[in-house]
Amino acid sequence: MLELLSYDFMQRSLAAAMLVGAVCSAIGVFVVLRGLAFVGAGTAHAAFAGVALAYLMGWPPLAVAIVFGLATVWITGLMEEQGRMKLDVSIGILYTATMALAILFLGLMKTYNAEVYGYLFGSVLSVTAEELRIIAALGFCVMGALLIFSKELYFIAFDQEMAEASGVPARRIFYLLLTLVAVTVVVSLKTVGAILVFAMVLIPASTAYQLTHSLAQMTTLSVVIGTLCAAGGVLLSSVWDLPSGPAIVLLATAVFFLSVLFSPKRLNRSQA
Amino acid sequence: MAHPIIRFSHATFGFHGVAALEDITLDIAEGEFVGVIGPNGSGKTTLCRAILGLMPPFSGSLKIFDCSCEELHCHHRARIGYLPQKESLDRNFPITVLEAVMMGRYGALGLFKRPSKQDREIALQALENVGMQDHSKTALGHLSGGQQQRVFIARALAQQPQVLLLDEPTTGIDITTQYSVLDLVQRLHRDLGLTVLLVTHDINMIRKRVNRLALLKTRLYAAGPPEEVLRPDILREVYGKDLVITEKDLIIVEDYHHHHH
């Protein structure tokens, strides 16, 4: 295994996976607490539609994916505020519509393009040095924003109306969170793929949720779990020659089920 | 009358063009303890949202701290400590008592500033004011309804507010706890010199504690000392047949609907 680590590609993919794991699991805390899980899943598919369109037209994939991702989260945010339709319904529609777009764009391509499918299923082992730099740059931006606005983000996750009533610019912070979700999804697309990216956002945070009663601890635990699962998944996938995305996600899922089994909350509930 | 801190002047508020509160004219003086009463759907919560500047009037005006409520900036809002109507808290939400109370500091601090040691002191002092200092590290979800209510009052106090705005603070908690929460509010009013607005459907609970009552049913039917407001002719006008007055002058307003939403 140590021998594997001496390869450039292996170091790159480990670094990419750990970065993505850290960013996804950090933002995941706010996504889980604010109840935006479904929003993220929709965004991932929209971003993939963006990638497909980019390949079809010969545009830069990440840029188009960001545009698609941002459009989806902002539309979703507006729909939630308007409250005219139940959020799960409106996101369900957006989600399937963007997926249909993606399939349409793929169908319009004259030839089979393996690279596009890399964005769907994830291919961390083929991350290039330049892609790693982009992941790192965007990842640090997201982490920086999360740190700077952490107190407001926690507050709106706990109670957005109360946050607004006590003088926090809650609406702007909510849109900031949606924006960060979109950027995170796009950053992670190449590594874990559109289908699995949301697992990386949800699972570490939900695992941490099971284990603690404190916001600060939940965040720390989530990031540790996310980063370790990402690294572990990459190592497993290269040792046993498994696809990397599923290896990371299934490892995280296993940890999640362990946390549910040993959750102090579950023990409390059975006492009550 | 002392300096008015909140001034409604012919103010009308509502959603989607339907008025929830109409033509309200009311001054609330600094340091007053005012009980806001009225049947369900009488606009009591709208009144709270208006005072928080979350809902500008269709017509008329509302001034808080001499600042028109449309222009109510974030730092003004932080000077109003608000206890929203109790919703059922997700008992598993991972937050400690101190973390929840610290949130009271966030609006006052503003963006880009991290809570300091001093903010922590203020939050701990707020917890002490509500008698919950021993629970600072406890999970919020593990507390009883009454204790959670105290923690949320502490969060409002952590804002170091001038005005304390409480929306149905006694709903959904057991009767002895209701009294102790009201005793607490009364003590805070007295000791901290806060202006208190307490919205409730339970007239009997607060009639002996407040300086003035404001009786709402879309319009303001009466405002004044309890003995002036709680007159059978006035109450009958607002509550109609839901009103029962017993021989000992105890007013019972049958408020069945309240428990159903």
pLDDT tens-digit series, residues B186-212: 999 999 999 999 999 888 889 899 999
Which chain A positions have a beta carbon within 8 Å of B167's beta carbon?
none
For residue range B130-172, list pLDDT tens digits in order: 999 999 999 999 999 899 999 999 999 999 999 999 999 998 8
The B residues from 148 to 177 touching A (CB cutoff 8 Å) are: 159
Question: What one-character DSSP code corresponds to residue A214?
Answer: -
Q: Of B71, B79, B111, B149, which to mutate for an interface test with A (greatest number of A Cβ within 10 Å)?
A: B111
**Is the pLDDT confidence value at A149 over 80?**
yes
- Range scoring the smallest mean pLDDT among A221-225, B99-103, B241-245: B241-245
CB burial readout B131-141, b (16+ within 10 A) else e:
ebeebbebbbb
Name the percent of chain B lying above pLDDT 90.
58
Q: Say what the pLDDT of residue A127 is.
A: 87
Cβ–Cβ < 8 Å for B11, B21: yes
The stretch A246-270 carries a mean pLDDT of 82
**Is the pLDDT confidence value at B73 over 80?**
no
Binned at pLDDT 50, 70 and 90, residue A192 comes out as confident
Q: Say what the pLDDT of residue A266 is.
A: 58
Provide the mean pLDDT of chain B: 88
Which chain B positions have a beta carbon within 8 Å of A164's beta carbon?
54
Q: Say what the pLDDT of residue A270 is.
A: 42
Mention every residue, 6+ apart, whose C-beta is less than 8 A from residue A184.
A23, A24, A27, A142, A201
**Measured CA distances, A91 to A38, A85, A156, A181, B80 (Å):** 7, 10, 21, 15, 36
Q: Say what the pLDDT of residue B60 is.
A: 92
Provide the mean pLDDT of chain A: 89
Q: Say what the pLDDT of residue B133 is.
A: 95
Task: Identify which has the larger pLDDT, B248 or B55.
Answer: B55
Q: Say what the pLDDT of residue B260 is.
A: 41
Binned at pLDDT 50, 70 and 90, residue B248 comes out as low
- What is the token pair recorded at B208? 């002996």
Q: Say what the pLDDT of residue B259 is.
A: 45
For B106, the closest of A33, A168, A214 (CB atoms) is A168
Q: Say what the pLDDT of residue A271 is.
A: 41
Cβ–Cβ < 8 Å for A205, A29: yes
Task: Identify which has the larger pLDDT, A251 or A268.
Answer: A251
Q: Say what the pLDDT of residue B69 is.
A: 64
Q: Helix, strand, or coil here: B32?
A: coil
Question: β-pairing, B67-68 with B212-217?
Answer: unpaired
* CB-count exposure of residue B15 (10 Å: 0-12, 13-18, 19+): exposed
Q: Say what the pLDDT of residue A272 is.
A: 37
Binned at pLDDT 50, 70 and 90, residue A89 comes out as confident
Binned at pLDDT 50, 70 and 90, residue A176 comes out as very high
Binned at pLDDT 50, 70 and 90, residue A94 comes out as confident
Q: Helix, strand, or coil here: A110?
A: coil
The stretch B220-232 carries a mean pLDDT of 91
ipTM computed for the complex: 0.87
- Range scoring the smallest mean pLDDT among A12-26, A240-254, B125-139, B241-255: B241-255
**Chain B closest CA to A169's CA: distance in Å?**
7
Q: Say what the pLDDT of residue A116 is.
A: 87
Which chain A positions have a beta carbon within 8 Å of B115's beta carbon?
151
For A165, the closest of B52, B99, B141 (CB atoms) is B52
For residue range A102-128, list pLDDT tens digits in order: 999 999 988 888 888 888 888 888 888
Q: Is B141 on the interface with A (CB under 8 A)?
A: yes
Q: Say what the pLDDT of residue B76 is.
A: 74
Q: Is B92 on the interface with A (CB under 8 A)?
A: yes
Task: Identify which has the larger pLDDT, B7 or B251.
Answer: B7
Mention every residue, 6+ apart, whose C-beta is less than 8 A from residue B135.
B97, B127, B143, B147, B151
The stretch A238-264 carries a mean pLDDT of 90
The A residues from 211 to 230 touching B (CB cutoff 8 Å) are: 212-218
Cβ–Cβ < 8 Å for A38, A91: yes
**Chain A closest CA to B198's CA: distance in Å?**
16
**Is the pLDDT confidence value at B253 over 80?**
no
Q: Say what the pLDDT of residue A190 is.
A: 83
What is the Cα–Cα distance from A133 to B108, expressed in whole angstroms? Answer: 38
Q: Say what the pLDDT of residue B147 is.
A: 93
For B74, the closest of A149, A158, A167 (CB atoms) is A167
Q: Say what the pLDDT of residue A4 is.
A: 78
**Is the pLDDT confidence value at A220 over 60?**
yes
The stretch A92-109 carries a mean pLDDT of 90
**Is the pLDDT confidence value at B15 over 90?**
no
